[in-house]
């Protein structure tokens, strides 16, 4: 290709109001702030959306600068393969990686899954998140969502047994997974896991801070445990064996769909169950992750359901059933 055939890169910050608020153990927010990378070549445009995560030292403003700094390399011919070494795993690389895939698919008049040699995604059931609050308030929110087959319950430390039991009473038929977002301690880990087992919880996500998760390898785990903050890309998988039963693959952690697909293959080979997860964001951020759904025991792609409004051509949700993206959205 000549330089004129290489794409140009535009980057912007976008904001989407959340219905009410979204609360986890680290705090609450009322809007989703994402960064969108847009690659243009001729008549084709490829897009990718990421959500910078303060837990990993990322901010929208810094992510914007990191992506803007890639314009020259993209204009010189940087491609998706070279991108994997040119940028570290994280939100910024995710946006650009997904934009490259979208652009390549549109340029070849293919769907992204055909381009990548993956099965076409099918409609699947996503978890629906119940934010952290008092037991009474969580029960009230759960009651409104009790018709959904899979609920993800955000927990936060003190009082979690009461929260778990209140949620179970409010949704006796739903499958429950819980996410402590690193809020439990060695002193309450076993009693909280026991409460989850008593309530029939299927999976507990990231109960301990990532630096403390060696304890998970020393106790009997009555409920299967999933790594989130403790797992990022393929390099982090080996150290989790014996501590976790599953891993949560999020594109903002892996640095894009390219690494996420490779990580899913590696995780399965090591015997881990897979959850495909998301940050609170629009359908553009969810769409690439749909390619992982076929590999996943749990799908948690409810971000747009938590927004007051989604972007145009968003994913179609029938209750908790999420459908594959239209090419007008991505891929």
Q: If we measure between CA atoms, which residue out of 55, 104, 113 comes closest to residue 292?
A: 113
250 catalytic, yes or no?
yes
How far apart, in whole angstroms, are the C-alpha atoms of residue 150 and residue 143?
A: 13
Alpha helices in 108-202 (DSSP H): 112-116, 135-144, 160-170, 189-198
The total of other beta-carbon atoms located within 10 Å of residue 115's CB is 16
> 317-318 and 246-249 as β-strands: parallel, antiparallel, unpaired?
unpaired
C-alpha of 184 from chain center? 21
Q: Measured over all CA atoms, what is the biggest interatomic distance in the chain, rounded to whole angstroms?
A: 64
**Are 208 and 186 within 8 A, CB to CB?**
yes
DSSP track, 46-115: EEEEE---GGGT--HHHHHHHHHTTHHHHHTT--HHHHHHHS-SSHHHHHHHHHHHHHHHHHTT--HHHH
- Selected catalytic residue, list 154, 173, 235, 268: 154
**Are 96 and 37 within 8 A, CB to CB?**
yes
> 8-24 and 27-41 as β-strands: parallel, antiparallel, unpaired?
antiparallel
What separation in angstroms does the CA of 208 have from each of 105, 229, 243? 40, 9, 11
How far apart, in whole angstroms, are the C-alpha atoms of residue 242 and residue 162?
A: 29
- Selected catalytic residue, list 106, 152, 250, 253: 250
Copy the structure tokens of residue 117.
């040699």
268 catalytic, yes or no?
no
- What one-character DSSP code corresponds to residue 279? -
Active site residues: 154, 250
């Amino acid at each position: 290709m000549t330089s004129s055939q290489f794409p140009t890169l535009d980057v912007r910050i976008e904001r989407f109001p959340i219905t009410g608020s979204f609360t986890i153990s680290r705090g609450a927010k009322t809007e989703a702030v994402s960064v969108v990378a847009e690659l243009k070549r001729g008549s084709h445009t490829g897009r990718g959306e990421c959500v910078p995560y303060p837990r990993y030292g990322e901010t929208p403003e810094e992510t914007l600068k990191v992506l803007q700094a890639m314009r020259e390399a993209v204009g010189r011919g940087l491609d998706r393969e070279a991108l994997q070494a040119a940028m570290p795993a994280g939100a910024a690389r995710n946006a650009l990686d997904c934009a490259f895939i979208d652009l390549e698919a549109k340029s070849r008049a293919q769907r992204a899954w055909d381009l990548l040699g993956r099965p076409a995604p099918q409609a699947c059931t996503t978890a629906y998140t119940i934010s952290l609050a008092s037991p009474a308030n969580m029960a009230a929110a759960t009651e409104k969502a009790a018709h959904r087959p899979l609920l993800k319950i955000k927990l936060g430390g003190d009082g979690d047994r009461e929260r778990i039991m209140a949620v179970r009473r409010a949704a006796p038929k739903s499958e429950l997974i819980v996410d402590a977002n690193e809020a439990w301690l060695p002193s309450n880990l076993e009693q909280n896991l026991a409460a989850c087992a008593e309530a029939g919880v299927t999976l507990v996500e990231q109960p301990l801070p990532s630096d403390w998760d060696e304890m998970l390898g020393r106790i009997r785990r009555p409920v299967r445990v999933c790594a989130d903050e403790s797992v990022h890309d393929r390099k982090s998988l080996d150290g989790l064996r014996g501590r976790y039963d599953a891993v949560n693959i999020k594109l903002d952690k892996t640095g894009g769909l390219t690494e996420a697909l490779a990580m899913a293959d590696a995780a399965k080979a090591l015997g881990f169950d897979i959850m495909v997860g998301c940050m609170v964001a629009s359908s553009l951020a969810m769409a690439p992750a749909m390619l992982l759904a076929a590999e996943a025991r749990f799908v948690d792609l409810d971000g747009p359901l938590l927004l007051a409004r989604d972007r145009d051509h968003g994913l179609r949700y029938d209750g908790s059933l999420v459908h594959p993206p239209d090419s007008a959205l991505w891929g």
